[in-house]
Amino acid sequence: MQIIDGKAVSKSVKESVKAECDELKAKGVTPGLAVILVGEDPASQVYVRNKEKACEECGFYSEKYAIPADTTQEELNALVDKLNKDPKINGILCQLPLPSHLDDKEVINRIDPIKDVDAFHPVNVGAIMIGDYNFLPCTPAGVMELIHSTGVDVSGKKAVVMGRSNIVGKPMSMLLLHENATVEITHSRTQNLAEITSGADILIAAIGKAKFVKADMVKEGAVVIDVGMDRDENGKLCGDVDFDDVKDKCSYITPVPGGVGPMTISMLMKNTLTAAKIQNGIQ
């Protein structure tokens, strides 16, 4: 069994983004990312801080809008409109979840699709469906990079994606399908779950249930990717996969933390770079 080092893969992605950013700067273009954080959710604050740090590492321009939890929909919309028009800003990310009086969908739909570096806008989601896209959603794209880092060829393999969220499960399935995997999606109503997951050459867990995936649900020699960010019974950060139970059965496995998490941010940097290139007519 080999542990996939998400931090190392993420670092190498960021290094190549930085190198390309330096080339863009020589042409007078600095990629710019605006991050909107509404309210004071502690987890969101950490994510946003990490995004700012990654911008610095890659040489990007960044703006952070930490606005109060009682911001109105109109005020948030006005901020998105302003950023849509700002030529210094190539990417806009509104950290989710939003406070309950605000509508995620309204904000996502308002971001100019060419600045939607999360790839959450229906235009970008549709583009992914037909395989003709500018941006890939950060977490599934990061998972694909981790799979590629193992050298395992996805083509023709059976991939099982546990979870059907719009942010991870659904786009994840599409990306695997684009690389010619035979894809099955499981969810909370799936019957005979272990039977399905234990047939997977590539198993992606994105269900948000701490240590849910046990050895009897995993095929011998499988590649296991854990998208979960959960807390165990002692409040310690863990994934959807019971790492200690599963590790000896698979060929490759991602740890939590240090697996998928660091990749999400480096893919965001890649998308922001792409956005800057497109908006400045550079290919």
- Point out the residues that are catalytic: 51, 95, 118
Kindly give the interhelix angle for 6-26 and 260-279, rounded to the nearest 10 degrees: 20
Please report whether residue 62 would count as binding ligand GUN according to CB under 6 A: no
Q: How far is the CB of 96 from ligand GUN (least distance, A)?
A: 4
Give the closest residue to 185 by CA, choosing from 200, 201, 169: 169
For residue 93, state whether it binds ligand GUN (rule: CB under 6 A).
yes
Q: Which residues are bridge partners to 183 per DSSP?
A: 159
- From the list 215, 200, 217, the residue with the least C-alpha distance to 161 is 200
CA distance 41 to 186: 30
Which window, 22-30, 92-100, 171-179, 220-228, contacts ligand GUN (CB under 6 A)? 92-100
Binding status of residue 118 toward ligand GUN by CB under 6 A: yes
Among 13, 94, 154, 183, which residue interacts with ligand GUN (rule: CB under 6 A)? 94
Classify the C-alpha dihedral 128-34-55-204 as positive or negative.
negative
| Min CB(30)–ligand GUN separation in Å | 22
Using the rule CB under 6 A, is 96 a contact of ligand GUN?
A: yes
Question: Applying CB under 6 A, does 95 fall inside the site for ligand GUN?
Answer: yes
Q: Given the DSSP bridges, would you call strands 230-231 and 237-238 parallel, antiparallel or unpaired?
A: antiparallel
Q: Are 263 and 11 in contact (CB under 8 A)?
A: no
| Residue number closest to ligand GUN, CB atom | 96
How many Å apart are CA 29 and CA 23, to the nearest integer? 9
Stretch near ligand GUN under the rule CB under 6 A, chosen from 16-24, 94-102, 157-165, 248-256? 94-102
**What minimum distance in Å lies between the beta carbon of 35 and ligand GUN?**
8
From 93-101, 170-178, 195-203, 210-218, span contacting ligand GUN (CB under 6 A): 93-101
Residues 121-150 contacting ligand GUN, CB under 6 A: 138-139
Residue with smaller CB distance to ligand GUN, 160 or 267: 267
Residues that contact ligand GUN, how many (by CB under 6 A) = 8
d(CA 50, CA 55): 9
**138 vs 206, beta carbon nearer ligand GUN:** 138
Spatial separation of the C-alpha atoms in residues 42 and 157, rounded to whole Å: 39
Q: How far, in Å, CA of 97 to CA of 73, rounded?
A: 14
- Residues of the shown chain interacting with ligand GUN in the complex, contacts defined by CB under 6 A: 93-96, 118, 138-139, 264
